[in-house]
Homo-oligomer: A and B are copies of this chain.
Amino acid sequence: MSEISYKDAGVDLGKIKQSHNKIAKALAETFTFRKGKLGEPVTKIGHYAGLVDIGDRYLALHSDGVGTKVLIAQMMNKYDTVGIDCVAMNVNDLICIGAEPAGLIDYIALEKTNPELIDELMKGLIKGAKESGIAIVGGETAIMPDVIKGYREGYGFDLAAASYGFVDKDEVITGSTIKEGDILIGLESSGIHSNGYSLVRKVIFEKAGLTVDDTFPETNKKVGEILLEPTRIYTKIIRKLIHVITVHGIAHITGGAFTKLMRIAPDGLGFEIHLPEPPTVFKVIQKLGNISDKEMYKTFNMGIGMVLVIPEEEKGKLFKVMDNYCIKAYEIGKIIREPTVRVNGIKLV
């Protein structure tokens, strides 16, 4: 059985990383256009969110989309949950820098005018906004024949958003205070979230030949139901935690999965991670696709949606706070004096 990688599914993360570095360098030039003015950028491109100086505090900005999970929605002909994913992908990144998410502007590109589809997408966006306490202050709906396609005729769409939040200048969390010996806390995910769907689709539909209406192997749920499960929103729990305990770093496990942890690590430090038993969905995808452990850890959250880096002495207090929320937390490793990310003994970067 041949092994499938994310690259085979059309997404070359290595090439993308190179491209990102080049973009970051090019965009840094634009920071000089606001030098000494209101809204001068203060962070380097490449963190979870950009920060700009608005006087007494920072404005945090971020942009993210739902990716090819939109195709699963079309397969299921169910569009009222991907809006939740869209909000989650945005606010979960904003909180990684310590910001309180405050609002979002959506961007919907459609194959053709389809008000019913937009109504359903809005339902999810509003539900996500409510859960994360943000306002949706605007949006753009673009009708893009010949640019947008999809699985279901007339229902092709892309869903993304830009989001913003605020953070007091002395409350920014970049990871710069992370120390050797700090422990890693993983917060459970609600499934695949919104990354890796090109690979998921290749494995589940092409290779295994399943449909959204089939039962997902080793579960009693349908394939579509499992693949459309909305991304968990961590805003409330993280906002609570950072006001109660000392948090050195926060990482949303998103595109690039555990490889992206390095962007919050100070020079010379890295991550030694031992994941708990992954949820069934990941075990099944790995088995059906004959995917290597390394490829899995580079692509999927493996059951951990957020990673917090905290001083060991804060552990007791953290688990006490967590008890009041319906999100499980696991101690999953520690910060090591080696600039690498190792998951279950496998070096990712």
Residue positions of A touching B, CB distance < 8 A = 9-12, 15-16, 18-20, 22-23, 26-27, 29-31, 33-34, 37-41, 45, 49-52, 54-56, 59, 61-65, 67-68, 70-71, 100, 102-103, 105-107, 109, 112-113, 115, 118-119, 122, 126, 129-130, 133-151, 156-158, 160-162, 164-166, 198, 201
Contacts of A39 in B (CB 8 A): 102-103, 135, 164-166
Q: Which B residues touch A164, using CB under 8 A? A: 39, 59, 61, 164
Q: Interface centre among A10, A39, A49, by most B CB within 10 Å?
A: A39
Chain B residues within an 8 Å CB radius of A122 = 23, 26-27
Our pick among B23, B34, B51, B151 for the contact of A102 (Cβ within 8 Å) is B34
Of B38, B113, B160, the contact of A11 (CB 8 Å cutoff) = B113
Count of identical protomers in the assembly: 2
* A52 lies within 8 A of B103 (CB): yes
Question: Could you say which residues of chain B place their CB within 8 Å of the CB of A41?
Answer: 103, 135, 137
Known interface pairs A68-B145, A143-B198. Does A10 touch B107 (Cβ–Cβ under 8 Å)? no
Contact A34 B103 (CB under 8 A): yes
| Chain B hits for A22, CB < 8 A | 115, 118-119
Q: How far is the CB of A180 from chain B (nearest CB, A)?
A: 30
> Would you give 9 A-B contacts (Cβ < 8 Å), ordered by A?
A16-B141, A19-B141, A27-B136, A37-B102, A38-B102, A55-B56, A146-B201, A147-B156, A160-B160
Decide: A62 and B105 in contact? CB cutoff 8 A: yes
How far apart sit A41 and B139, CA to CA, in the bound complex (Å)?
Answer: 14
For the complex, give the distance between the alpha carbons of A126 and B147 in Å: 24
**B residues less than 8 Å from A151 (CB atoms):** 146
User: Which residue from chain B places its CB closest to the CB of A25 in the assembled complex?
Assistant: B122
Majority secondary structure of chain A interface residues (helix, strand, loop or mixed): mixed
Cβ-defined contact, A54 with B54, below 8 A: yes
**A45 & B137 in contact (Cβ 8 Å cutoff):** yes
CA distance A161 to B51 in the complex (A): 17
**Contact residues in B for A166 (Cβ distance below 8 Å):** 38-39, 54
Shortest Cβ gap from A153 to chain B (Å):
13
Chain B nearest CB: distance from A305 CB in Å? 19
A30 to B122, CA, bound (A): 11
Which residues from chain B contact A71 at a C-beta distance below 8 Å?
Answer: 146-147
Q: Which residues of B contact A38 (CB under 8 A)?
A: 100, 102, 166
In order of increasing CB-CB distance, the 5 nearest A-B pairs are A162-B162, A50-B137, A39-B102, A19-B115, A50-B138
Assess the B130–A144 pair: CB atoms within 8 A.
no
- The smallest beta-carbon distance between A299 and chain B, in angstroms, is 13
In the complex the two chains form, is B64's CB within 8 Å of A140's CB? yes
- Bound-state Cα–Cα, A220 to B12, Å: 43
In the complex, the answer to whether A34 meets B118 with C-beta atoms within 8 Å is no
Residue in B54, B126, B138, B146 whose beta carbon sits within 8 Å of that of A61 in the complex = B138
